[in-house]
Amino acid sequence: MASHRRPKQPSRARVSVFGAAAAATVALSSQSAHADPNPSKAEVKERVDELHEEATEITEEYNGAMEQEEQLKEEAEELQTSVARGQEELNELRNSVGSVASAQYRNGGMTPSVQLFLSADPDGYLDRASTLDQVTGKQAEVLRNIESKQRTLAQQREEATTKLETLEETRAEIKEKKDAIQAKLGEARELLNRLTEEERQQLQAEERAAEAEAQRQAEAAADRASRSEGRTDSPSATTTTPVADSGSGSSYAQSAISAAQSKIGSPYVFGNTGPHSFDCSGLTGWAYKQAGISLPRTSQAQANAGTRVSQSQLQPGDLVFYYAGITHVGIYVGNGQILHAPRTGSTVSYAGVNSMPFQFGVRVA
């Protein structure tokens, strides 16, 4: 399995996800089978972070394929419904012509006009006829309606068949990407299992400490904002979900932040969009949906959902994007903090805005 390492950024710490990897219960990849049997704690930390970043990249592709599957299902169903409805209309037209033919046959024979209606190729029959005097204007109109519906039905059936074939290909792609994600997580778990119990506990403690520090900073910043506005009630004293800076950010942004804060502690599950579990873009999309704004499904698509801003221009509610492939997204809550759904095994939590390789922000509203 190839490793897609990116250049290290010494000024920006990478998020630890060791508790996350321990939760994965999947098969091991072929690469891990040939890895160093006794890696150091630092080597495990680096490789596990890489594996989770790679899994996140595939998760974005997985989410895109899931979205395409849903769209293809809807389009195929609409086409099939349209075909069924069109077939009923065509049958009614043919039945009306058949009734006339039966009556004429019983009375001694069919007129040329009715023979024309019953032609296997009515359009060609009309084209070859030297004159349309042999049929009434109304009969010619019905005949052309029959021919038009036959063409439309043939085209819709072909489109529906193509959609269904593409749908099956997409479902196969989804399974392939899901297996790839699980393989990455499986390798991360196997690496962690090579460490001693003490080393694993140290890594998990470091991760918990980083999350606790981010939470503390967010609460302290919210408390300072509250005091500067003259309020005597301290948000940090009454809740573990501090509000963002109240001096900036639209009402939509503030509503999205509040929604995201209500999900602190909810588990990360790749492909999920809430309300009980989320992946990164699932959380941001769900939060803004509660504020009345619809966002695209993937982080790459959400990156084009508003106006791009630099880190110095960030306001509470802005979406923040990470890694060169734009494979991770969170919500800026102010004072250098974000809320996000990190990775498998973790939960919705706060983090520093520079805890991952920052790319840019996007102001949605």
Structure tokens at 307: 């106006």
CA distance 315 to 41: 37
With respect to residue 323, please indicate whether it lies within any of the assigned structural domains.
Answer: yes
* Section 162-182 average pLDDT: 92
| Structural domain containing residue 294 | 211-365
Structure tokens at 99: 């009734």
* Section 178-189 average pLDDT: 91
pLDDT band at 120 (very low <50, low <70, confident <90, very high): low
* Section 310-335 average pLDDT: 95
221 and 198 in a common domain? no
CATH number where 287 lies: 3.90.1720.10
* Inter-residue contact 55 to 343 (CB < 8 Å): yes
* Residues that are catalytic: 280, 328, 340
Q: Is the pLDDT of residue 357 over 80?
A: yes
* Inter-residue contact 56 to 328 (CB < 8 Å): yes
346 and 215 in a common domain? yes
Percent of the chain scoring above 70 in pLDDT: 69
CA distance 200 to 195: 6
With respect to residue 5, please indicate whether it lies within any of the assigned structural domains.
Answer: no
Structure tokens at 89: 């209309």
Q: Is the pLDDT of residue 31 over 60?
A: no
Q: Would you state the torsion angle of the CA atoms of residues 158, 163, 165, 168, taken in this order, to the nearest 10 degrees?
A: -160
54 and 106 in a common domain? yes
> For the packed helices 41-106 and 280-290, what is the interaxial angle rounded to 10 degrees?
60
Please give the pLDDT value at position 237. Answer: 35
Chain centre to alpha carbon of residue 267: 17
Give pLDDT tens digits for 232-273: 444 433 334 444 554 466 899 999 999 999 999 999 999 999
226 and 149 in a common domain? no
CA distance 81 to 168: 19
Query: Mean pLDDT for the chain?
Result: 78
* Section 89-109 average pLDDT: 62
